Amino acid sequence: MFPKNAWYVACTPDEIDDKPLGRTICNEKIVFYRGVDSVVAAVEDFCPHRGAQLSLGSVCEGQLVCGYHGLVMGCDGKTISMPGQRVQGFPKIRAYPVIEKYGFIWVWPGDADQADVARLHPLEWADNPDWAYGGGLYHIACDYRLMVDNLMDLTHETYVHTSSIGQAEIDQTPVTTRTDGDHVITSRFMENVMPPPFWRANLRGNHLADDVPVDRWQVCHFYPPSHVLIEVGVAHAGKGGYHADPKDKVSSIVVDFLTPETETSMWYFWGMARNFNVKDTNLTAQIREGQAKVFAEDTAVLEAQQRNLSRYPERKLLMLNIDAGGVQSRRIIDRLIAAEQPRLVA
């Protein structure tokens, strides 16, 4: 259902600022917290004494303390101490590789020996003063792969997002799909169209006219295990489109980190990174609010879709040309999952 030997976004740093956080990722119940010197740690959310959730405890001087009987857990999964008890024989619980990078906490739920920071693809917009970022988190009751399908085929915008980013020209413009190793790219370029409401607001945010035709682009990038980054933008028509001078366009990267919780639920870390008017915090808040509404519309559709698919698991779905990006992305996911399965010896 999901590859485990991969980095997933687990949470944002503010979620573990003052207390431990329990979160299920790829069916693994994990507790995240700041250990000694505020270094992030992740262990099983299971106290070896009586099975209590460690996430319901507290962090004291960098040590995770169980809220049931005061057991103190180390970041390596070994019990450090417990009031009135010898702990040398206590069973070790699982510790997970975890890193803090690019403004997120990332966890590796698979084989710890295979965890490699180099396998986290670079994010050029993160920790870069020339970019601004704003985003949020949704918990969605659907298979994360449905969201991959959704993001790699933006044709639905015409129908799901009629009041924000949708427009008829999306339907009327062909989409191209290609793969480069484990990287899937779908592209759509619209010329001489009127900008929809969301993009009119962004044009105004960069002090550009919003009532003139534009060239619009959508370039979706899938990276395993389940990350989708989408280059989006509009430029005044005839100014070069995607390659237009910054003074004639507004462009951004839609950030989508899809973290499976279970087979039918996921954590959706969404946001938008932009490289125009980056110091305007009001614009960041305005874009974030607009994005939140767009993704809430997706959530309603996908959760209803999951209910239908769960009810009729035997039904076969159609695969059309517009689905190519999602199909290719799923093939990569399936291959990674298969590679993790134990091989049977004849």
Task: Report all structural domains of the chain as residue ranges with CATH numbers, in order of start.
Answer: 8-119 (2.102.10.10), 132-338 (3.90.380.10)
- The pLDDT of residue 163 is 77
Interatomic CA distance for residues 2 and 106, integer angstroms: 16
- The pLDDT of residue 322 is 82
Interatomic CA distance for residues 251 and 242, integer angstroms: 8
- The pLDDT of residue 231 is 97
- CA dist 310 → 188, 259, 303 (Å): 32, 20, 11
- The pLDDT of residue 343 is 66
Mean pLDDT, each 10-residue run in order, the chain (346 residues) = 96 96 98 95 97 97 95 96 94 98 98 95 92 97 97 86 83 92 96 94 93 97 98 96 95 97 98 93 93 92 97 90 91 96 66
- The answer to whether the beta carbons of residues 332 and 184 sit under 8 Å apart is yes
Interatomic CA distance for residues 210 and 222, integer angstroms: 31
- The answer to whether the beta carbons of residues 192 and 237 sit under 8 Å apart is yes
Interatomic CA distance for residues 89 and 91, integer angstroms: 6
Half-sphere exposure of 131 (CA within 13 A, CB side): 17
Structure token digits, residue 264: 């039918």
Scan for tokens 């946001």, then name that residue: 271
- What does pTM read for this prediction? 0.94
Q: Say what the alpha-carbon torsion angle 301, 306, 311, 312 is, to the nearest 10 degrees.
A: 90
Interatomic CA distance for residues 203 and 285, integer angstroms: 15
- The answer to whether the beta carbons of residues 184 and 152 sit under 8 Å apart is yes
- The pLDDT of residue 345 is 52
